[in-house]
Amino acid sequence: MTPLPETHRDNRCALILGAGGHAANAWGAGPHAGTNSSEDSLRHRRVDVQGISFHVVEAGSAEKPAVVFLHGWPEDWSAFRQVMVDLSEDAHVIAVDLPGIGDSQGLPRTNDKRTLASYVASLVGGLGLLDVTLVGHDVGGQIVYSYLRFDSGPLRKAVIMNVVVPGVDPWTEVKRNSKIWHFAFHAVPDLPEKLVWGQQRAYFDYFYDAISARKDGVKEDARKAYANAYSRREALHVGFEWYRAFAQDVKDNLSNTEPPVDTPVLYLRGDHEGDIQNYLEGFYESGLLNVQGCVIPECGHFAPDEQPGQVGKALRNFIFG
């Protein structure tokens, strides 16, 4: 494996580490302390592209650089609500419900991440966004990777959060991890829908509790919103289809002949998720030549929910620093 350049290695988010390298909350006592709690500036609308009516939520001036947020599973656009508010004075922030989820209408042709990236590219073009930073959490991060590697369009910068990408190291290692049992279960045709339908809240709660740094990392209002976003049968189905498409994602990513990209990329991970270095090396080896890492303290998988203030601080430093 080609060594990752020293300048791209994990700096453990020095901007939010206390003296001597010990973790400190950049915003004060709690994950929301010191943040702007007003959400009056959030605007909702629909944008139709490629047969999908996207639910789009935005704030900030269209004259400023655009930051587009893509959620993961089991989430909707509101995973980034607080981060959007925090960044809205300096950026045009946009979050969407992915095709088939929440208030977006219409189903995607397929759910492989290359195809979903093409929908996002059409949305970015339809909104007339320029100087775009694309941010994706979980499955949203897999879509960001495909957007970058399959030349979906120019980006200023990109952020991939809390996720492994199919076919990219350490993909094989992660799949072997018994704690990641749901990858295989969700890929089974039809069965997850039958077992989870009507029990979305209880099933989702298992993951919010198990892979957050603290059981209360994902708050009650967020849990209710996410369960509601998958309350339609087609939405629940689409969420599981993201996992069923992993085999195609692996084929796409391993057969990619596009040249490497030098777009600046930040890979963000919670300190409770384990080592970040093998992920950075995997991204570099797969063609992301300008990748750097950031570890958020006191954080598990659901970083935008668990530590929105610290995530916002890390994004601000990366995008505007």
**Could you read off the pLDDT of 233-277 as tens digits, one per residue?**
999 999 999 999 999 999 999 999 999 999 999 999 999 999 999
b (16+ CB within 10 A) / e for 103-124: bbbebbeebbbbbbbbbbbbbb
Per the domain annotation, does 1 fall within a domain?
no
Contacts of 202 (CB under 8 A, 6+ apart): none
| Length of the chain measured in residues | 321
Q: What is the pLDDT of residues 30-77, one digit of tens each?
A: 333 334 446 778 999 999 999 999 999 999 999 999 999 999 999 999
Domain that holds residue 92: 6-27+35-320
Give the helix ranges, DSSP H, for the chain: 81-87, 113-126, 139-149, 171-176, 182-187, 191-196, 200-210, 220-229, 233-244, 246-254, 277-285, 303-306, 308-320
Per the domain annotation, does 307 fall within a domain?
yes
3-state secondary structure of 201: helix
Q: Pick from 222, 185, 76: which is nearest to 137 by CA? A: 76
Handedness of CA 162, 164, 170, 175 (dihedral sign): positive
Q: What is the pLDDT of residues 91-146, one digit of tens each?
A: 999 999 999 999 999 999 999 999 999 999 999 999 999 899 999 999 999 999 99
Cis amide bond preceding 170, omega within 30: yes
Per the domain annotation, does 159 fall within a domain?
yes
CATH number of the domain that residue 39 is part of: 3.40.50.1820
Overall domain count for the chain: 1
Q: How confident is the model at residue 29 (pLDDT cuts 50, 70, 90)?
A: very low
